[in-house]
Every structure is written in structure tokens, then in C-alpha cells.
Structure 1
Amino acid sequence: MLNKQQIKQTLILGWPISLQNILVTLLSMIDVVMVSHLGDAAIGAVGLGNRVMFVVMVIILGLSWGVGILAAQYYGAGQTKKIRLNILIGSIYGIIALIPIIVLNIFYADSILALGTDNEEVISLGQSYLWITMPSVIFVAVTQVIENALRSINQVKLPLIFSVVSIILNVILNYWLINGGLGVDAMGVSGAALATTLSRLFQMLILLVILKHIKHELSVKRSDFALLGNMADWTKLLKLIAPIMLSSGVWSLGTFCYQLIYSRMGINELAVISMLLPVEALIVSLFFGIASACSIMVGQHLGANRKAEAWNTAKTFALLSPFVAIFVGLLLLLAQKYILMPYQGASAESLALANQAFVVITLLSWMKVINMTLAMGVLRAGGDNRYCLITDATAMWCVALPLTFLAAFYWQLAFVYVLLISYSEDLIKAFMFGIRVKNKRWMKNLT
């Protein structure tokens, strides 16, 4: 079990990361809440647009997580210069990967949204939302690469501070641009999108400027650019991040397909899932910091060849996280009335469905937490990314998605039962990830 020093380190590393992710999740809820007075179409447009963005954002997370994994092991091995080099390489990889996505979004945003709904108003609003927000993914990629590198060397408060400032700016801009004022006409959904893009640009710029100003050890230096000619470093990072990004893409695309299924059931179902997915994300975000702390600690142990400590840390996190997640879910269930209160602008039918779905999400989200801990916190810390890719693809695409589709359109079950069946993915993954962690094949020194 973890000793007192390890528990203290977990809390020090985990709470700022969890708080930052909770704030980001709350912001996505705020976006939906702040346009809810415009009706179900606006709620659906922002919700559906956010799910398209989510696919790209999770791929970015895979990239930055890979940089963080390697950085944690380099830190354990005492090679700080290699961390700065991988920040550069990771940022370049991210920009190269994202430019084609941004270009395709310009031409095909409406077609992608049409997969999820045939409501012309939702498609039109969602298209405007995506045109404005999609370019911001480049800012997010650079920011997340640097943030994960900072976390890998146990510096978790700096990313939190920059994120809080960005979120406050986003909320202020949201209110102003959605509703208008000070000479600016009300922009509605487009205003929410512009606020998001501007705040993400600000976050990236302030992060780069402050790190350079304080002469931080991870602030990229001119001499670091000379090291970019070593193709071995490019190949090493690519081999690590490619399976993570592919796995993230497979999973996030699958989550988008779930939303397509729900949204094709009707505009009420689309509005409900737009309201409640942030609630599920809130639970997962709370434990994202714990999974990150686990990954950092396990990675540093493996980089220093302390395999016994790595196994002890992994085992403890895997056993404790689901029990704490169940407790948090029960607390949210008790607060259901207050959590759904901001959505009173939605239709009565949507609110009735939301109350049913809320119970499923809060009681079963612990399975997503255990999978995140096992996959992101343990297996990927040792570079076991191929197994994670196979597990994600099998559980989601071969089992859960087909069953959810059949439940919705062939068996024509009620929305709450369709949602319940989708959790078959997490049940299968928990079993497969648990076996892999137990056999210890993931325990590798990547440096």
C-alpha cells in the first residue's frame, strides 16, 4: 500500500490536475447553460458541436499524454533537456496533424453534423460553432503538451493558474458575446464559439510568455532547436504517441457515434445528452488528476528502474479509485435537483428524460473511472499502448456500439435503457485492463 509520503505526493500532484479538469468540464456545462434560454436547438447545436470537438480534443490529449509519459521517465532519469526537446517535437506533430482537420472542417462541418440530426436549425447553428472553434485546437495542442510536461516534473499548479485565468476570461466573453452589449450585437451560439477560441489563444500565449519570463527549466531555448535534426528522437516519440493518438481517436470517434445514435432518436434526446454528458465528464475529471498522479509516479519509478515501487503504486490506485468514484456518484445523485436546475429553459419532455438518464450516469460512471486509472494511469505509463488500442477498439466497436444501435433502432427501447446498454463497453474494458495490469507486462523503462 502507499505510505504517508506517497499519499501526500498523490494529493499534491492530483488535486490541481483534477480541479483544472473539473473547471474545464464546468465550462462546457456553462456554454450549454448560457445558450439554454435560446431553446433546444441552441442546446443541441452546442452539444453536438462540442462532441465533434471532443473527438479532436481527445486525440490532442493522447499526443500530450504521450509527451508527459516520456517526460516523466526522462525526469526520473535526470534528463531535463530531453523533456524540452520533446515539447518541441510534440508541438510540431500536433500542428501537422491538426491543420488537415481544420481545413476539412471548413468544407464538411455541416455534413458531419447532419449525421447526428436532420434539424436544419441545429445544423446551421452547429456549423457556425465549429467554423469558429475548430482553429483553436492548435492553441490547445501546444498548451496541453507544455502542461503535461510541467506535470511530469511535479509542477501541477502553474497549469492550473493559467487555466483558471483562461476560464474566467471565457465566461466573461461568453456572457458578453452571446447576449451582446457595449456596442456588440448579440451573437448567440457564435458568440459562445468566439469566446472559446479567444480564451484558448490567450491561455497559450500567457503560458509561453510567463515561462520565458521566469526562465523556467522547461521554457524552450534556442539551443534546443539545434537538436531537432536527430531523427531518433522524432521516431522515439512517434512510436509512443502514435498508438495513443490512434487509440484516443478510435475511442473519441466511438463516443461521437453514441451521440449520433442518441440524437437520431429525437431532438429531446439530443438536448438531454448535451446536458448530461458534462455531468459524466465532471465525475471523470475529478479522477483525471488521480490517474495523472498515478501515471507520473509510476513513470518516474519505471524511469529510475524502481519496478517494485511502480507495481505497489499501480496496485493501490487501481483498488481505491472505483470505491471513491461510487461515493462521488452517490453524492451527485443526492444533489440531482440542484444540478439540473440551471436547465429549466429546456422543454418539459427533455427535463423528464434528463432526470432518468442522470441516475444511470451517476451510478455507473465509476466504471469509466477504473478504466481511466488502469489504462492512462498504469498501462500507458509503461508504454503499453498497443494493448490499450486493441481493448478500446474491441469493447467499443465490436460490442457496445452495435448493441446500442440495436437497442435504439431495432429493439426501439426507451432512451434510458439505450444509455444503460452503452455501458457494456466499460464493463468489458475493466475486465481486460484488469488482467493486463495484473500480469505486469507493462512495466518497461522507456528511457
Structure 2
Amino acid sequence: MKSFLHSLSRRRILRGMLGGSAITVGLPLLNVFLNENGDALANGARLPVRFGTWGWGLGMSEKIFTPKQTGAHWELPEEIISLKGVQKHINLYTNFNGFRDAAPNLCHTTGWMILRSGAAPKDDNDRPGETIDVTVAKKIGTTTPFSHLTMTATGDPRDTQSYESASSINNAEGSALGLYTTIFGPDFQDPNAKHFKPNPKIMVRQSVISSVLDNTKKLSKMVGSEDKQRLDQYLTSLRELEKQFDRQLTKPKPREACVAPQAITDDLPSGVDSVLLGRRHQIMTDLLTMAIACDQTRVFNMLYSKSFASTTKVGYEKPHHTASHEESVDEKLGYQPMVSWFLRRAFENWAYFVDAFSKVKEGDGTLLDNMMIYASTDQSFAKIHSIDGLPMFSAGRAGGRIKTGLHIDGNGTTGCRLGYTMMQAVGLDIPHWGNQSNQTSQEISEIVT
């Protein structure tokens, strides 16, 4: 056994597994490789409910963001006036908190991580639990070609708020061209096509994965407990990949709303200028809308700007994040003017995002009627890194389970109540969600039908 283990290498294992084939699949880094220090469809089924997240950085300007009224008849303050066209499709949540308990307030991290995972991270490397999209995808993302899609308008794949664990981060697609190719490239199967022909490349990939699975199971019997745990996690990801291939080899059900978008052949230049960022976000939104309509995925993540947003404005020398700390609060206005300028661009894009789904007809309603979209940020007042009074939005009615057009005051309760309510709305039967002071079993009853 010892001589066998000492002869292993990641490349050698997989060559052997595939019988010398040129196709390879990488193994996780094991200790053995280290030194000793180391509504209804046509068939009567309900229309599927989809879940997604949308994120923006650096919170809000409370004075011109938070409405004076709660409930159904609330007036849009100055900073979010761009939401007028979609107000009936959304809910706004204010005065909800993120509780750190004994954990530190990690700037621009603790807030979004509490809202997305239900727990506060202990340090910069900690990723508590798994994010809400991953949890939901295990329930409703098992029958589509992609269990979930993650993308960012910043162009940087590292800008993501989706993870399965500290060692399994779901990198984002930062290219509009890359997103088009992933969803509507050569492997796309049009659900409305008259004839279905399984893609031979997918069949080969499925065969390869099956072989790797079998041999990885054998290998797990030959290594130590820590390596066995890593291999178990690796096997889980391989099984998910195998299921994805199975789905791609199955004829999809027709989708009336599905219209494959025009091919994208050129990508946008890199950069986070507000105009460029908005353009990239709009193209990705349009692609994602059709991905949902064509049932390519039912779970997604869209990040408009990262938590410490680096969005720039032509003619202004400071990016959004720097301005949030260095710009003074105007005494007459009661807020930071340039910071608010950046935030208004974010909310304009949130409005575009919601509106795009509301325009696609599905059944007797729209795509948005059968969606639950969760929008969150990292701070309330970014200048002092506050995570008290975190603002959030939701959009969509989750198949009639959620009311919209409301402003909800959380009265200082945990923001995890919204995540818990949404998971219940999309079909998860969970007794509670969150950790320590963020744990909750209390729905936001005002929005539940």
C-alpha cells in the first residue's frame, strides 16, 4: 500500500483511470500528494418557480433611500426613484440587521455573508455554511442543464457571492460573450426544436465522468481519513456533473417563451466605468432572461457591483468605494452626493433587471410571476461599515406565494428572515435558517399570501 501511495500523482491517476486516454480530469489536492508538513404546463404540472440573487455594493443613503411609509402605499424617495416602473413587482425591506455575535465586523464581507449564508464569518478565510442559492439549487435546480448560473457585471470572475464551502467557491462568469457561449453555444438544445439529437460530445464526457467516478471510489478506500473526506466532496461534485450531462442528453420539454438570442461574437472591453458596467449588466440580464425562459437553469446569481464597489465615473477621480469613505456628508443635503450618484446607477440597473423578466409572457402571466429574486448588499452606511439597518429587495411572486409592492420595516430583527421566507416560498421545508442570533423561524408574514 505504501509503495502504491508514494507512486501516485494527480496526472498519473487520471491517465490510468481513463485507460491512457488524452482526456483528463483533475483530482483535489490530497495529503498523499504533500510532504509530511502539509401555474400549469401543458401536461398539468405547475409552472416551475425559479430563484435568483442580485447584489450591489455599498448600501444606501438612508435619508433619501428609506420611504416614510410602510405597507402597500409608499412613495419612492429620491435615491430609488428609478424603481417607479417596477415598484408593483418588488418589495423593499429596511431596518433589518446582521448580527455578528462574537465574530468581527469584516469590512464589506460580514454583511453580505450573513444575508446570503445566515452566519457571520469568523475571519477573512471563513465561509460559513453555504450560500442560499446553493441550498435552493439542491431543491429546484436538479432538472435543468445548469443547476445554477453565477455571473458578474464587473467582468472579474472573482467577484462572486456564491459558495458551497470555504474551499469550493463558485466563480462568476464576467464576460457577456462567455455567458452566451456557456448557455447558448454548441451544447444548447432548443426546447422547441422538432427533433432532438443527443450531443455526441456530451455522451463522451458522460462516459469519462462515469469512469472517473468508479475509480475515485476505489481510490477512497486506499487513503487516510482527511483525504477520504476530500474525495467524498470531489465525488459529490462529479455526481452533480454526471447529472448535468444526463439532463443535457434528455429531450427538454417545450417552452413557449423560449427564443434563443442573437449570437454574440464580440465582447465588451474590460473596465468598471459606470456606463460600461451598465452595458455589460444589461447584456447579461437579457441573456439570463432567455436562459430562464428556455429552462436552462432555475437558480442564478447576478452581481452588479462587488461589495467594495470599484465603479468609476468619467470626470470624477475616485471610485465608488473610495468616495464612500472620503466624501463628506453634505450638511444641507444630509448625504454624500457622489456616493449617491453611484448608488442611483445601481438601482437603475436593478430596475432594468426586474423589468426584463416582467416583459416575458409565461402562461397567463409573466416569467417574473414565477420567480423569487433576492437583492442584497454588504453595508447599510458604507462610510462606517455599518451592518445595522441593511436594505434588501425582493422581486417576483414565486408562483403566487408572495405579495409585492410593499415596504417592510424589520424593526431591528435579523435580515435572515427574508432568506428564510423566500426558501419557504420556493418549496424548501426547513424549520429554521441562520446561526446564533441570526437564526430564525419567523417568516415575514406581511408578504406571504
Higher relative contact order structure (alpha carbons within 8 Å, sequence separation ≥ 6): 2
Greater Rg, structure 1 or structure 2?
2
Higher helix share: 1
Q: Using structure 2 for the length normalisation, give the TM-score.
A: 0.28
Higher strand share: 2
